[in-house]
């Protein structure tokens, strides 16, 4: 199976206040994902604080993950401000066995559509690592126009896209993007609360933050959707509605850090200046975890 199909589970990257990765805790988190049988592991995504880590620490994180992931493919974040730096990070990821690089158009200065096309084309060409487009306008403040996605899908080595939730109807967005991109181009979505629906209407991949924390229930939804058991997929998605509410209220990143703390998997906090959830939020998260059906909070 392609690494950009099914559930790509994105864990946090536990690190101390100085940005040094806790590889023991990371291995523990990776073990949960491989034991659950996720389709790929999304290392160093936004939840995995890739932009807050040095190149050396990214390498340490990749090395620790590679030791634990077995045959589970790694999708590794390779974003950087400069094209040359992103290409070198992608080269590092390829050398350490990553299957795909996840590239976002991070920038201080606003970028044009042509500048992003050249940036992605250069990273794919110079690294030799298959690249997935990371469309994350909430952090990059860049909007991929349909024409740009179409052009990039035809660049050798650019193999898929991780979409944010569409502004319009999911079915229409997926249909339009599918018709405008190259054959075999993988189309997936992030922001977990929209992803079960995306899978149920034919998306290739769920890029899951909760999948990196509670992989079993997210994988169960994925498998139900792939089997076209929409009743079961919807039942499980509905059971997770309180978690999606936490994500909207406190952000997915802050919420999963606290879930991981409450499960005893790591005491890591988000990198400053990001603060952990407040005390009331911790209580909200604890109450939601207690209220989930048996077995889901594992």
The DSSP-derived string for the chain is: --TTSEEEE-----B-TT--B-HHHHHHHHHHHHHHT-SEEEETSTTTTGGGS-HHHHHHHHHHHHHHHTTSPEEEE---SSHHHHHHHHHHHHHTT-SEEEE----SS---HHHHHHHHHHHHHHH---EEEE--HHHH-----HHHHHHHHTSTTEEEEEEPPPSS-HHHHHHHHHHHS-TT-EEEE-SGGGHHHHHHTT-SEEEETGGGTSHHHHHHHHHHHHTT-HHHHHHHHHHTHHHHHHHHHH-HHHHHHHHHHHTTS----PPTTSPPPPHHHHHHHHHHHHHSPTTS--
Q: What is the pLDDT of residues 27-79, one digit of tens each?
A: 999 999 999 999 999 999 999 999 999 999 999 999 999 999 999 999 999 99
Q: Is residue 242 assigned to a domain? A: no
Q: Is residue 150 assigned to a domain? A: yes
Q: Is residue 260 assigned to a domain? A: no
Q: Is residue 138 assigned to a domain? A: yes
Q: Is residue 285 assigned to a domain? A: no
Catalytic residue among 50, 134, 189, 207: 134
CATH number at residue 102: 3.20.20.70
Q: Catalytic site residue 162?
A: yes
pTM, entire model: 0.96
Q: Catalytic site residue 134?
A: yes
Q: Is residue 82 assigned to a domain? A: yes
Q: Is residue 44 assigned to a domain? A: yes
Name the residue range of residue 219's domain.
6-227
Q: Is residue 73 assigned to a domain? A: yes
139 marked as binding residue: no
Number of structural domains (the chain) is: 1
Catalytic residue among 5, 50, 162, 257: 162
Q: What is the pLDDT of residues 127-183, one digit of tens each?
A: 999 999 999 999 999 999 999 999 999 999 999 999 999 988 999 999 999 999 999
Mean pLDDT for 100-127 is 98
């Amino acid at each position: 199976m392609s690494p950009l199909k099914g559930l790509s589970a994105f864990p946090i990257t536990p690190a101390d206040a100085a940005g040094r990765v806790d590889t023991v805790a990371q291995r523990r988190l990776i073990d949960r994902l491989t034991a659950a049988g996720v389709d790929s592991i999304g290392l160093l995504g936004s939840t995995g604080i890739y932009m807050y880590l040095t190149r050396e620490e990214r390498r340490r994180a990749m090395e620790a993950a590679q030791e634990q992931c077995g045959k589970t493919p790694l999708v590794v974040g390779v974003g950087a401000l400069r094209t040359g730096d992103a290409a070198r990070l992608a080269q590092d990821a390829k050398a350490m066995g990553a299957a795909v690089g996840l590239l976002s158009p991070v920038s201080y200065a606003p970028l044009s559509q042509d500048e992003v096309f050249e940036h992605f084309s250069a990273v794919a060409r110079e690294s030799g690592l298959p690249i997935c487009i990371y469309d994350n306008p909430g952090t990059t403040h860049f909007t991929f126009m349909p024409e740009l996605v179409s052009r990039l899908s035809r660049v050798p080595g650019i193999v898929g896209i991780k979409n944010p939730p569409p502004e319009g109807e999911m079915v229409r967005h997926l249909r339009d993007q599918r018709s405008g991109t190259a054959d075999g181009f993988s189309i997936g979505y992030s922001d977990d609360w929209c992803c079960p629906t995306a899978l149920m209407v034919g998306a290739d991949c769920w890029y899951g933050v909760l999948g990196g924390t509670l992989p079993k229930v997210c994988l169960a939804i994925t498998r139900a959707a792939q089997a076209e058991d929409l009743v079961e997929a919807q039942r499980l998605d509905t059971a997770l509605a309180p978690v999606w509410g936490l994500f909207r209220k406190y952000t997915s990143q802050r919420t999963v850090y606290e879930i991981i703390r409450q499960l005893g998997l790591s005491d890591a906090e988000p990198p400053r200046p990001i603060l952990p959830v407040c005390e009331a939020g911790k209580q909200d998260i604890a109450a939601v975890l207690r209220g989930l059906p048996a077995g889901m909070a594992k």
